[in-house]
Amino acid sequence: MSSTLIASVLILSLSAVHWRLRRHAGWMASPRGRFFVMLSYPLAALAAYWMCSAATSLEWALAGGWAMAWISSTLVGLGALKRVSAEHAARAVALETITPAVSR
């Protein structure tokens, strides 16, 4: 019963996170960010599986490793999304800047 509850909570929370991230300004512009964010979902499932089924300290260590990989992948993906948004904003500001055509 607890594994079903954990799986349901995991699916609902990852769906909410994905819905929010899909609205990020850099989502369509950053394939690297999308890749790492999408990679983090199965890593979260693996971490939850190992945490639910862990009976020995080795399995707990594996669960911790999968959880670290999950968080790392998520943070790298978010960093890539933020970076591409900042790069696009800098380019937009550079294009909008009015410079004199003739220097005096």
Residue 101 has a pLDDT of 64
The domain of 15 spans 2-96
Number of domains composing the chain: 1
For residues 62 and 50, give the distance between their C-alpha atoms in angstroms, rounded to a whole number: 7
Contact criterion met (CB below 8 Å) for 73 and 36: yes
- The secondary structure of residue 28, as a DSSP letter, is T
> How many C-beta atoms lie closer than 10 Å to residue 8's C-beta?
10
Q: Is residue 60 part of a domain?
A: yes
Q: Is residue 103 part of a domain?
A: no
Q: Is residue 63 part of a domain?
A: yes
Q: Is residue 33 part of a domain?
A: yes
The model's pLDDT over 16-53, given as tens digits with 9 standing for 90+, comes to: 999 998 999 899 999 999 999 999 999 999 999 888 88
Q: Is residue 75 part of a domain?
A: yes
The pTM (predicted TM-score) of the whole model is: 0.81
Helices (H) and strands (E) in the chain, counts: 3, 0
The model's pLDDT over 54-103, given as tens digits with 9 standing for 90+, comes to: 888 888 899 999 999 999 999 999 999 999 999 999 888 888 877 666 66
